[in-house]
Amino acid sequence: MYDWLLFDLDGTLSNTEEGVTKSFQYALVSMGVKCEDREPLKKYIGPPLMESFSEYFDHDGCLRAVGFFRERYETKGIKECELFPGIAEMLAAAKESGKMTAVATSKPEKFAKKVLEDFGIDKYIDVLSGALDDSSTKTDVVNTALKRAGIENDRERAIMIGDRKYDVEGATACGIDTLGVYYGFAEPGELERAGAKYVLDTVDELTGFVRAKSLAEIEKYLAKEN
């Protein structure tokens, strides 16, 4: 039975499509890359920025691009987001069921803290672990979350909940189970290919999962198992 729920932020708790894609577009254009359509940029919601920009630039170019991204994101992009419908209620249900909660995100920790506070859901979060610098990986932030939660030696108590393969792969590298959600930004089949133990489609299903008090109840809400 999982008593620690680790949540990704972008694409899992919050819909950051507008802010992230517009800031990514701004960075590309600032670096001389033509980019009129933001739709293909949705795949960059979630992974570390250095990894995403590496598809366009060398290491030094990536650093410059990250700087341009942050230039816009810090002033405009961070405000261009919203919670997915039902997320606040899902987190409240988790706490009412006695679960402990953490956010493990590749977003810089100071930005993640502001997002949680602005939406008023910080009261539901026991531990926050975000990227401390641009070299932080998803594995790094998950490991830090486990340490801050005091369960680095009891990892079977935790499950990572995220919407992208990076969440699944990073958590798996940390030795914890994973639950993928498809209401975020994953492409069809992405979570299964990454090795997610369980997959859900909706926030309502996730709410059912966090309310579960036994493994038998959990199976009712975990729609697919690899």
- Indicate the domain borders of the chain: 4-15+81-225, 17-79
Which class in CATH covers the domain with range 17-79? Answer: mainly alpha
Check if the beta carbon of residue 41 is closer than 8 Å to that of residue 65.
Answer: no
Provide mean pLDDT across the span 86-110. 96
Q: May I ask the CATH class of domain 4-15+81-225?
A: alpha beta
What tens digit of pLDDT does each residue of 132-155 get? 887 789 999 999 999 999 999 999
3-state secondary structure (DSSP) of residue 90:
helix
DSSP symbol at 45: S
**49-80: pLDDT as tens digits:** 999 999 999 999 999 999 999 999 999 999 99
Which of the residues are catalytic? 8
Tokens matching residue 48: 């570390």
Instruction: Provide the H-helix boundaries in the chain.
Output: 17-30, 49-53, 59-73, 87-96, 109-118, 138-149, 165-173, 190-194, 203-211, 215-221
Q: What are phi and psi of 184, to 5 degrees?
A: -90, -125
Say yes or no: do domains 4-15+81-225 and 17-79 share a fold: no
Q: What is the pLDDT of residue 222?
A: 61
DSSP string covering 103-125: EEEEEEHHHHHHHHHHTT-GGG-
By percentage, how much of the chain surpasses pLDDT 70? Answer: 97
